[in-house]
Amino acid sequence: MPQFITAPAHVPIFGGKTIDEYVGRVTTGDTGVSIAYMVAPAGWSEPGKAEDFDEYTLVIKGVLRVDHEGGYTDVSAGQAIICRAGEHMRYESPEGAEYVAVCLPAFGNPLVHLDDDTASA
């Protein structure tokens, strides 16, 4: 029988960014995939990180800047980016951004290795 998700798990994090997880460890108990809608305010940034999962990100509104070893990539509304497991990167939103992230396997704090472990993802 299909599993109907009536509402996401709402997770506020540092800097005013919010995460609404629709599928994943918190909402559905899935460990193989997570699907979340993110809203990052203008000026938000996070510490650098290297994750133990692939993250597929589709920007819905605004611009998401992804800093990586080759420089940075600005991902605008209607564009997507894939960050592979083990790649070092950092997300920021100079203008603000709304985006959907799909993580394989599912996002989980033990799988995120932040440069600054005083912030929590």
Domain at 9-109: CATH code:
2.60.120.10
Domain definitions of the chain by residue range: 9-109
The whole model's pTM is what?
0.85
pLDDT in tens, 19-30: 999 999 889 999
Q: Say yes or no to pLDDT of 111 above 60.
A: no
pLDDT in tens, 36-75: 999 999 999 988 888 888 999 999 999 999 999 999 999 9
Contacts of 105 (CB under 8 A, 6+ apart): 31, 32, 33, 53, 111
